Structure 1
């Protein structure tokens, strides 16, 4: 969850000058459906067998230019709708898992590990797949719900109210980062993307090492977070996840303005929800450490 390869993939395709399946027709002149008269381009010269009546020409030129929906390109509405769908799946599975582990505590750790490692591995499979695989994206959302539904009640039982605090902090940070990015207070550049990508990969390795350390009993089950630097590391994690939101917003904006295929709306939504889950986990850990101390 500490790195989002989905947006890196989309940005690479954009930097190469476009997306597969987009841009094959001149802008504003999409291919006409089979059986319909061809839409004349700027340099159209009708031949003997292509003469059009004045009424046909008038009708064609009176039509509005094709928008993103008609040309099969992603829109902001597409991303918002897909994000809400995935967010709803995560919430539903989280709630169901919460009640399940409440009745059967022995399932907490298996579901926790399945959700954590399953969603992490699947996120890379989705990102590097040559095709947009919607079923895999839905399974990823289910796995994230399993993880959240197993870990949240565990932390809430040890530190009452910590889940509510983490949820409020996550939503507030999401809104704040969007406003700051939109207003230009937070910049996302190619250089900052590269630096963030390297730092995120390093942080991911650190998190995996910490999971191993916690299972071995280091830091009273907290791993490296159980030491004196726990709060500082947690704050760093919150900062990383927060900036990842700005990168996500900027990547979505690039995809929409660059004319990415409509199918990419699922990838964009998947990446955004993954970042939200990451941010929530970082806040959950931070507030738990603060209550513990």
Structure 2
């Protein structure tokens, strides 16, 4: 199963999980599956994308990958460290934009730069740390200016509520994933992709109506419909987090090159930014309805 996150989908982190979990290979920590169809390590199963690494051994008794023994493979500590760096730059950029009271015009310019950097990195075959860090900095500038505007003119305290809400979503999804309450399967991915594409299309149509017809467009971003769409947006981001966790877990299990930890950090940052923006929009709508 490949991730729907564009950062991971081209990199082959994932194992084939079957459908609906019935013939699925286990997530890390789950029981081994003995069939070639469900077990990526059984004979005739999809190959480990990093199998050329002679140090990426597998446990022949239980059909699960053992931790690689060399030092230049991705570890969970690498992912945490890189994610801390990218999120740290997002926070630093946001703080600078907030303190300097950056205008929305400059914020939109920073958002466009971040979008270009993100798209270029997503289609590169290898991560470019400088580009990923630059993306995080410009994204932070945009988020800081936007949050300051919303906090000042729309709903006081909205930014802090959105931050706390994003943290709550992250912790909740990590708990649900680690306890296997949520299992990432092909069916899960397929339905999530359909929902995400539908959400993006409807949001784009609404934006076009706002630009050419004025007002709130089709009403997808205000009132009761706006609240519903805000909740759906947060839920989509939360489910994408579960998929990101799966990709990181598989990358570590397969012995992916250490540089892939930058891509893992990039993907997690993209998802957290999505959740924060949807949370900020939702808090703004709810505050306006009070």
Whether the TM-score (by the shorter chain) exceeds 0.5 is: yes
Q: Does 1:135 align with 2:130?
A: yes
Distance 2:86 2:218 in 1: 30
CA contact (8 A) 1:114 1:143 kept: no
Name the residue aligned to 1:156. 151
CA contact (8 A) 1:241 1:275 kept: yes
- Whose relative contact order is higher, 1 or 2, with alpha carbons under 8 Å and at least 6 apart? 1
Distance 1:166 1:221, change over 3 A: farther
Distance 1:73 1:11 in 2: 15
Match of 2:241 among 237, 245, 253: 245
Per-residue CA deviations over 1:258-284 (Å, capped at 9, x if unaligned) read 111111000000110111111011111
Which structure has greater helix proportion? 1
Name the residue aligned to 2:165. 169
Distance 1:153 1:86 in 2: 21
Name the residue aligned to 2:80. 80
Per-residue CA deviations over 1:137-174 (Å, capped at 9, x if unaligned) read 11211121121011101111120111111111111111
Distance 2:282 2:99 in 1: 24
RMSD: 2.6
Could you tell me how far 1:24 is from its partner in structure 2? 3.9
**What is the total number of aligned residue pairs between the two structures?**
249
Q: TM-score, normalised by structure 1?
A: 0.76
Name the residue aligned to 1:18. 48
Distance 1:249 1:189 in 2: 13
CA contact (8 A) 2:74 2:260 kept: yes
Distance 1:115 1:201, change over 3 A: farther
Could you tell me how far 1:133 is from its partner in structure 2? 1.4
Q: TM-score, normalised by structure 2?
A: 0.77
Distance 1:84 1:13 in 2: 23
Distance 1:13 1:251, change over 3 A: closer
Gaps of 5+ in 1: 29-65
Query: What is the 5 A alignment of 1:252-291?
Result: 252-291=248-287
Gaps of 5+ in 2: 17-45, 58-65
Q: Does 1:4 align with 2:5?
A: yes
Distance 1:98 1:72 in 2: 39
Pick the structure with greater CA Rg.
1
